[in-house]
Chains A and B, each alone.
Chain A
Amino acid sequence: MSVESVTWERHDRRSRLLRFAFALGGLIVVLASWQYLELDLRDFGGATAAFADLATRMFPPHLEYAPEIVAPLIETIHIAAVGTMAAFALSIPVAYLSAENLTPNRLTYALGKVIVTVSRSVHTIIWALVFVIMFGPGALAGTIAIAVRSVGFLGKLLGEELEEIDAGQQEAISSTGANRFKTLLYGVFPQIKPAVVGLTIYRWDINVRGATILGFVGAGGIGVHLYTAVDSFAWRTVAIIVLAILFVVILSEGVSAYARTKAQ
């Protein structure tokens, strides 16, 4: 009894020391970063004032400009929808390849993992830079960028979902004499359906946000207009565009939350 409590305390002391070292290390790194960036606390003091100044310049938002941003907003929504749809279609085979229990062999498994890693390790905006060169400026490049980035996200998470399916359900269906297709349809798909629907909608929601910035690199959507407005210091126009983006994003978040509860 007493021996137990002694070892327990010793253990706790060591982990407390470790925790302290971790916190101290973190603090030192942050301070060193501060030094490296040659930051000054006064800059941040100025930040509040600068933002207050910006806010007054933005007011009142340029309402007359509103009709001109409807079309680019719709284009933004189109980019998100088509990009997500394409990613969804492509992610199913990718998930199948990268699920350890279903992938045909080691080579296909590696292929699945490579696709997922490459897609995920590059930000949408960088994919957009690449596709603007390939397909020219415009919504097409943005859509492809959204799709390519989302394939990794959906492929990874759906693959993990596939790895966790109950093999018993699959086996029971195949023991009735069902072929592979029917076994996938009845024994596998119902198990992952909520995840498929939920994750796709969730990614669509992320993509709506992502599509608002593609215009910064010429890949279509509302971002083009925002970029121009900021560049010409038209702050009241910036305000109306940001408000419109807020509206669309919050709306899509609501739709996404509602649809995901339906998919349970």
Chain B
Amino acid sequence: MLETHDLRKVYPTGDEALTSISTTIEGKEFVAMIGPSGAGKSTFVRCINRLTEPTSGTVELDGTDLTALSSAELRDARRNIGMIFQEYNLVERLTVMENVLSGRLGYVSNWAAFRRKFPQEDIELAYEILELVGLGGMENKRVDELSGGQRQRVGIARAVVQNPKILLADEPTSSLDPETSHDVMELLTDIATDHDIPVLINIHEVDLAVGYADRLLGLHDGELVFDGTPEELTDDTHGVIYRGEELTTTEAKRAIPAGGRR
């Protein structure tokens, strides 16, 4: 279970990217965070594993406050958080297998990492997951030989091989064509159910979000302005998220979360 309380981020430039975000994500929920460019979506997911250091507030994963951890403790905690990136962020010159296995780096010694020597279970798991994401037989290809869709599958495999307690994805479909985007979304929903973990994904294509997510979070200017099911996303709430319009009072009750939904 992931819980954020009053999560706030002010960049050194003075940009207040997140004002005060409180929300809870649990079970095998597939949560899509939507909002215009610059709303703070990336900042939010990056604050969860502290790739971006939050200014104040807390992030709790299964009861542990991640913001209070030392850097060594944070490393151990990060092993439980899988992350998928818009630009894939794969190590281009390594093979598919090495990229997938790098998801297990938190569990092996420096010396084993240096020799590229991973335990048997890790390798079995990696093969299994490559099969799952549809890259069976590709393990020896170098990543820079792959197409965008294949790369993102490697990115997903690297995150899943961590056996994470939550999966984060920052615009995983933005660099892909529409058809591949659907494949990737489907894969992510399958993973949420099969591995019984929540998935939080940032996305700006609303129709993709509505099509696949169990729940939507709407972010506007660093503020959480919508929290509900895809069915609850009306034209009005859409206007709130994307144009910052005021809501009528009846809808406001439904749309604006009171300290996070339970």
Chain A residues within CB distance 8 Å of chain B: 166, 168-169, 171-179, 181-182, 185-187, 190-191, 193-194
Contacts and interface: CB of A to CB of B under 8 A. Distances in A.
Given A182-B113, A186-B94, A176 B89 contact: no
Interface of B: 49, 51, 75-79, 81-83, 85, 87, 89-94, 98, 102-106, 110, 113-114, 155, 158, 162
B162 A176 contact: yes
Nearest to B74: A177
Contacts of B103: 176
A176 B104 CA distance: 7
A170 to B, nearest CB: 9
Given A168-B85, A172-B91, 13 more contacts: A171-B89, A172-B158, A173-B102, A173-B105, A175-B83, A176-B103, A177-B77, A178-B75, A178-B105, A179-B75, A185-B113, A185-B114, A191-B91
Residue among A166, A171, A177, A185 with max Cβ neighbours from chain B (10 Å): A177
A234 to B, nearest CB: 53
A177 B85 contact: no
A194 B93 CA distance: 9
B105 A177 contact: yes
A163 B225 CA distance: 40
Contacts of A175: 49, 51, 78, 81, 83
A110 B119 CA distance: 43
A233 B62 CA distance: 86
Contacts of A186: 91, 94, 98, 102, 105, 113
27 contacts: A166-B89, A168-B87, A169-B91, A171-B51, A171-B89, A172-B89, A172-B91, A172-B155, A175-B49, A175-B81, A176-B102, A176-B104, A176-B106, A177-B75, A177-B78, A177-B106, A177-B162, A178-B105, A178-B113, A181-B110, A181-B113, A182-B110, A186-B105, A190-B91, A190-B92, A191-B91, A191-B92
